[in-house]
Amino acid sequence: MLSILQTAAVLGYLATLVSATPTNTGSDKRSPLGISLPPLIPAIPGVTEPLASNAPPLPILQLPTPPLDSPPFTASDIKPKKIGYFWTGSGDNIHKDFLATVSLDDDTFGTIIYLTDVPSSGNSPHHLGTSLDGKTLVGGGLLSLLKTQDTAYYFDVSNPYRPAFKKSNRGILSSIVDEIRAKPEGGFFITYMGSAVGTSPGRLVETDADGNILHEWPEDVNGLLNVLGEQFSPHGLSIDFNKGIILTSDFVVPLSILKPTLGIQRANTLRLWNLSTRTIISTITIPNGGGIQDVKFIPGNSESAALATAVHLGQVWIIYPFRRDSNGKQGVAELLFDFGDKAKDSMAIYSDISDDGKLAYFTFTLGNHVAALDISDLNNVKRLDDPNETQPIIGPHYVKISPDKKNLLVTGYFVQAGDISVLNTPGDYKAHWIDILPNGGLSFNRTVDFEAIFTKDRGGARPHSSVIFDLTDPAHPKYY
């Protein structure tokens, strides 16, 4: 008899065969691929509430009960110029997950302006992204498939102070939503780290402007052979629309963090893609990387160089996508900087780069540290933070540089999957609004304590990711 992991792997492999017929690229007019289903158990007052709270954990799949109703909330009428949106899980995993709209202005900092619920719970809200026009946010659910729920949640933010839940959907071949990047013409590219059942291979998912799933790449035979031949669990995602290339970085097989497991399966690879054809050009390896969680192109770099984080090594590598190795293969990886012991095996290292390409910031989740590098000269990288400093943060992960480059917004929470998982990282459940000093260093002084705010209403709160709107200049709003 096949084990759970073996059965899931077979199903994941069979699922990839569905897409083996080549199709047109993003300009085609075929029907959207996504599906959307309600929870399998309908809400029955007085019946499903205790069922949700008393049911024991199931092996991998969880009881697909509806969420508990959210407690009353009084919205604020303030209209700050700087807004933080936080994609947040309810701490008890049975109340609705939600988008929190929070003031980042000095005089009203931390005020919860509005809460926008989604119609499901236990998603483990993960990354959040914005359309280029600032009218749509999309957030992914890391563990949504465990309750057979939709995995991507869309919000209408045309009124930035009153976001409205718009829709949700899921892929056919893939699950475990991670990084999100907006397309200039509208819509998104999104990395789905796992197959439909959480194994390898995942997919690079493409949507239209309405959030409908159009493709789950790769769809060509060579691309399928590539992702079947070596672990394909895309997490990081960066796109150079001018040079016509995409980089995705492979992190871990999602199912391997769930019990029973022989250990977390970590990858050492990145994929270089041709943007116009959505096909994989080559696989780039960082030896013994132990999970390449994040990759980002350096703005303004003449070679379209990108930074990639190698979690096991505690290092950042530089990827040159147009250079060729000694065998003529396109794409070269070179060590850029070793962060030392505090970063090694930190489970997660996430990054952000300033829009002038001069500063880069990195979070070490288990190291409880945020690092800063001056990368203005890639041949002479300088560390700006004190690696021995004890910073007032626990479990830092998602990091965003504010559009005016005066602050970092860092959330102190990565993943806590509970008794069914081997991955439960400590966190302080705070949003840290950190001042960037004139030399690029950091000064910690302000936080929003989500756990304290929501502990009575939703069993706490788990803010994983954020988007910043800066409306200081109404004629030139910035969305990031």
Q: Helix 4-17 crosses helix 221-229 at what angle (to 10 degrees)?
A: 160
The percent of residues above 70 in pLDDT, for the chain, comes to 88
Least confident of 97-106, 125-134, 225-234: 225-234
Checking if the pLDDT of 462 tops 80, the result is: yes
DSSP structure class, residue 70: P
Helix (H, G, I), strand (E, B) or coil at 310: strand
DSSP structure class, residue 355: T
Q: What does the pLDDT read at residue 4? A: 45
Q: Pick the residue with more confidence: 38 or 275?
A: 275
pLDDT category of residue 21 using cuts at 50, 70 and 90: very low
**Minimal CA–CA distance to 41: which of 69, 68, 63?**
63
Q: What is the mean pLDDT of residues 92-118?
A: 97
As a whole number of angstroms, the distance between CA 95 and CA 379 comes to: 50
Q: What does the pLDDT read at residue 27? A: 43
Tens-digit pLDDT profile for residues 393-428: 999 999 999 999 999 999 999 999 988 899 999 999
Q: What does the pLDDT read at residue 46? A: 63
Beta bridge partners of 93: none
Checking if the pLDDT of 24 tops 60, the result is: no
Say if residues 249 and 231 touch (Cβ distance below 8 Å): no
Least confident of 114-128, 214-228, 279-293, 344-358: 214-228
Strand order in the sheet with 234-240: 234-240, 245-250, 269-274, 279-285
Q: What is the mean pLDDT of residues 370-375?
A: 98
Checking if the pLDDT of 302 tops 80, the result is: yes
As a whole number of angstroms, the distance between CA 407 and CA 441 comes to: 10
Checking if the pLDDT of 47 tops 60, the result is: no
The model's pTM: 0.89
Say if residues 416 and 427 touch (Cβ distance below 8 Å): yes
Place of tokens 């250079």: 323
Q: What is the mean pLDDT of residues 303-315?
A: 98
Beta bridge partners of 434: 408
Helix (H, G, I), strand (E, B) or coil at 130: strand
**Where are the domains positioned within the chain?**
4-276+399-479
As a whole number of angstroms, the distance between CA 226 and CA 400 comes to: 32
Q: What is the mean pLDDT of residues 128-151?
A: 96
**Minimal CA–CA distance to 86: which of 397, 363, 367?**
397
Q: What is the mean pLDDT of residues 52-73?
A: 74
* Phi, psi values for residue 31, rounded to 5°: -70, 150
